Every structure is written in structure tokens, then in C-alpha cells.
């Protein structure tokens, strides 16, 4: 019956779902539901308007599946205890007589929980939403879209901890919107615009919205339509852990392949070897960071993506080297000497990737 998984990954399950906990007037929903099956540990929370389900593949379930709800009042203490655990530590969850015991090599914590009865059938709810959610918009008899779904933006903010990026798909009528992330499924119930302060004159269909905005979105005769300028990008960097991992592994494989094909060019061989080795090292570091602390990994990936997009990598490296106590000027002098000895030209200043000429 015990289940074991990474400590930080368990903390992330709590973080991705806690904002969706129902209020105290509905005790059965006033907490985070933890359910373990043969492959995953699930964390579930709902306030009846939004539903969040996050999962993580555990290291093994010793016995039969179990389900327990950690009450909202106990979550702050559990979250603080998890923060004190090493990121890569293994934590074992064991249900014992109406309680749930959390154990690591450093110690343990036991909380009183609710049992495996009286919780909503979230699996059936999500199966129904998935069945009604279509890849193409529903159309009415006139060939136009049905009423546009209306989502409460205040409820949408509860999904900010779910993932860096979420895919959203809506179904017909009053079907809840489906939100999909990495090992995450969420749902949000729509509201009816006429009853939520949008005004009786608002048309809820896409055709009505087009008619309402058609004049305002037409360029005046006195203006010349100018297309929106595309942002200057020096490097289209991945924005997620999985996307970055894929890019690094592809680069490693490409560089290794090219390394074998460039045997007649020593400089090309060296370039491919350096690129492949750097990509592989970066992947290994990223993989370790993602397993230890996914939130920190996502933060670092976003920061690096912005730096790559800026393109001034030489300047960034110069500043980082100086801050770390190294002598970047000495490195440039050594590069100048090597270039001069090889008949090349000396470098005068840090050069960033994609620097404008």
C-alpha cells in the first residue's frame, strides 16, 4: 500500500492543485485528494467551478491502490515539512488507520485524513469533458459558431501554478473548458454572459461579435494599414523543460553525426565535438534540476530563453565571469594570441549570438 516518489515532485503536486480547493462549507472538497494506482500518484482538488488533477509516475506501489484527502488546514504544515526535505529525497506515503504517514530518511510526518469515500467522481467528469471536447468548433444551422464559451478570468488565475504553458479547448454549449498541461488535466465551468454583467445587448455568438466589431476593426480611409512588426529573434529558444530537453538531445545527436562526417576538417571536428559535449552536459544538468526542483527548472529555462532571444551572450558571459571572480579580459587576450598565431584577427569586444552588424 505505501507509494514512493521524489520529494520535490510530491510538493509540486500539492502546489499545482491547492488553489482549487473548495471552501469549508463543503468539507469533502476542503482539501487535496491524493490517490495512488499502479503507475501514478494523483493530486486532485475542486471547488465545483474549477477542477485540477496533477499526477506523477511514482517509484512503486507496494500493495493495493489507496485514496486519502489531506484537509486544507493540514496543508501548510505539510508544505513546510516538504520544503525542509532535500529535493532529490525519496518520500514514502503510507495510509494507516485514517491517517497518512509521510516518511523520508530524515524523518516522518503523520496527518489525519479523510478516507476513500464520499469524494466526487473526477475521473468520470474528465472522461465526459474529453468526450464532448472537439478539435473543431460546433456550428449552428446557419453555418456560424454556437455561443462563445465565457470563462471567469478570476477562476482562470487558479491555474497559474499548474504549468508554464496550458492548452485550452472548449466544447459545445455548457461543456467545461479543458486545460491540459504536462501530467495535468484541469477543467473550468463556463458562465452565461448575460447573467454575469456583460449586458443584455451583448451577442454571445462569433457572428455577433464579428458584426459588433466589423466597423471598428476596419482601417479608416485616412490610414494605411501597416502589418504588425515581427519581433526580432536571435534564437528561438524552447520555453519548457520538455522542449529544452528535446532541443539539447537533438543537438547532441546532430553534432555527433556531423562529427563523423567532417573528418577532413580539424576545426569543424572540434566545433562539432564542443557543441555535442556542451549540449549533452546541459541536458544532464537540466534533467537533474528538473527532477530535484521542477519549479526552479522552469524559472531558469524562461530566463535563459530571454537571454538567448536577446542574443548578447558574449556580454552576458563576460559579466558572469567577472562576477564569479574570473578574469574575462585575460581569456580574450589568450584568444587574441591564439588567433594571431593562427593567422587570424584579434577579438576587440564580447560578441553576442545574433548581434546586429
pLDDT, tens digit (0-9, with 9 covering 90-100), for 300-319: 888 887 777 766 777 778 78
Same domain, 270 and 323: no
C-alpha atoms less than 13 angstroms from C-alpha of 15 in its C-beta half-sphere = 17
pLDDT of residue 196: 45
> CA-to-CA distance for 231 and 249, rounded, in angstroms?
27
Cα–Cα distance measured from residue 235 to residue 231, given in angstroms and rounded to the nearest whole number: 11
Q: Which of 167, 197, 170, 192 is nearest to 182 (CA)?
A: 167
Percent of the chain at pLDDT exceeding 70: 74
State the pLDDT at residue 180: 93
Tell me, yes or no, whether 69 and 165 share the same domain.
yes
Q: Please give the order of strands across the beta sheet that includes 167-169.
A: 66-71, 31-36, 40-46, 50-57, 184-188, 177-181, 167-169
282 shares a domain with 174:
no
Are residues 105 and 9 part of one domain? yes
Q: Does 215 map to a domain?
A: no
> 71: which strand partners?
31
Cα(73)–Cα(71) distance, integer angstroms: 5
Whether residues 290 and 357 fall in one domain: no
165, 195, 225 — which closes off a domain? 195
Looking at the structure, do residues 41 and 90 belong to the same domain, yes or no? yes
- The number of folded domains in the chain is 3
89 and 128 in a common domain: yes
Instruction: Based on the fold, state whether residues 137 and 38 are members of the same structural domain.
Output: yes
Does some domain include residue 305? yes
Q: What is the pLDDT of residue 212?
A: 63
Is residue 70 within 8 A of residue 110, CB to CB? The reply is no
Domain assignment present for 222: no
Pair 63, 169 in one domain: yes
3-state secondary structure of 183: coil
Confidence band, pLDDT 50/70/90 cuts, at residue 117: low
CA atoms within 13 A on the CB side of 45: 23
Q: For 195-233, what is each residue's pLDDT tens digit?
A: 443 333 345 566 666 676 665 555 555 545 455 445 444
What values do phi and psi take at 147, rounded to 5?
-50, 135
Looking at residue 104, which CATH number applies to its domain?
A: 3.10.150.10
State whether 265 and 345 are in the same domain: no
pLDDT score for 356: 38
What is the pLDDT confidence band of residue 34, given thresholds at 50, 70 and 90?
very high
> Residue 158 has what DSSP assignment?
G
Domain extent for 330: 316-357
Return the number of other C-beta atoms located less than 10 Å from residue 351's C-beta.
13
> Among 197, 211, 146, which Cα is nearest to 173's?
146
Question: In whole angstroms, what separates CA 352 from the centre of its chain?
Answer: 28
Q: What is the pLDDT of residue 232?
A: 45
- For residues 264-278, one letter each, b for 16 or more C-beta atoms within 10 angstroms of the residue's C-beta and e for the rest, the string is eeeeebeebeebbee
Is residue 236 scored above 60 in pLDDT? yes
Amino acid at each position: 500500500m505505501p507509494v514512493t516518489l521524489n520529494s520535490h515532485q510530491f510538493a509540486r503536486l500539492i502546489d499545482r492543485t491547492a488553489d482549487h480547493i473548495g471552501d469549508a462549507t463543503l468539507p469533502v472538497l476542503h482539501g487535496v485528494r491524493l490517490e495512488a494506482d499502479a503507475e501514478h500518484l494523483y493530486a486532485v482538488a475542486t471547488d465545483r467551478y474549477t477542477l485540477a488533477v496533477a499526477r506523477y509516475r511514482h517509484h512503486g506501489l507496494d500493495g493495493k491502490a489507496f485514496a486519502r484527502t489531506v484537509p486544507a488546514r493540514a496543508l501548510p504544515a505539510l508544505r513546510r515539512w516538504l520544503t525542509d526535505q532535500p529535493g532529490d529525497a525519496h518520500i514514502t506515503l503510507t495510509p494507516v488507520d485514517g491517517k497518512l504517514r509521510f516518511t523520508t530518511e530524515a524523518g516522518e510526518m503523520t496527518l489525519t485524513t479523510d478516507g476513500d469515500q464520499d469524494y466526487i467522481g473526477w475521473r468520470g467528469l474528465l472522461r465526459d469533458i474529453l468526450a464532448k471536447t472537439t478539435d473543431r468548433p460546433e456550428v449552428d444551422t446557419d453555418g456560424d459558431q454556437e455561443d462563445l464559451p465565457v470563462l471567469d478570468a478570476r477562476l482562470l488565475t487558479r491555474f497559474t501554478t499548474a504549468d508554464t504553458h496550458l492548452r485550452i479547448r472548449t466544447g459545445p454549449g455548457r461543456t467545461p473548458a479543458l486545460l491540459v498541461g504536462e501530467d495535468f488535466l484541469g477543467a473550468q465551468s463556463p458562465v452565461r454572459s448575460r447573467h454575469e454583467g456583460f449586458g443584455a445587448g451583448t451577442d454571445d455568438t462569433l457572428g455577433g461579435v464579428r458584426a459588433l466589431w466589423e466597423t471598428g476593426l476596419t482601417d479608416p480611409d485616412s490610414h494605411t494599414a501597416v502589418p504588425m512588426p515581427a519581433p526580432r529573434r536571435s534564437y528561438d529558444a524552447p520555453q519548457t523543460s520538455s522542449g529544452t530537453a528535446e532541443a539539447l538531445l537533438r543537438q547532441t545527436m546532430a553534432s555527433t553525426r556531423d562529427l563523423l562526417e567532417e573528418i577532413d576538417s580539424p576545426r569543424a571536428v572540434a566545433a562539432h565535438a564542443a557543441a555535442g559535449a556542451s549540449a549533452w552536459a546541459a541536458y544532464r544538468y537540466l534533467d537533474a534540476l528538473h527532477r530535484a526542483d521542477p519549479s526552479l527548472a522552469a524559472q531558469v529555462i524562461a530566463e535563459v530563453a530571454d537571454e538567448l532571444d536577446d542574443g548578447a551572450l558574449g556580454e552576458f558571459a563576460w559579466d558572469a565571469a567577472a562576477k564569479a571572480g574570473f578574469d574575462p579580459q585575460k581569456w580574450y587576450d589568450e584568444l587574441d594570441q591564439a588567433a594571431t598565431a593562427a593567422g587570424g584577427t584579434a577579438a576587440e569586444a564580447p560578441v553576442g549570438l545574433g548581434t546586429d552588424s
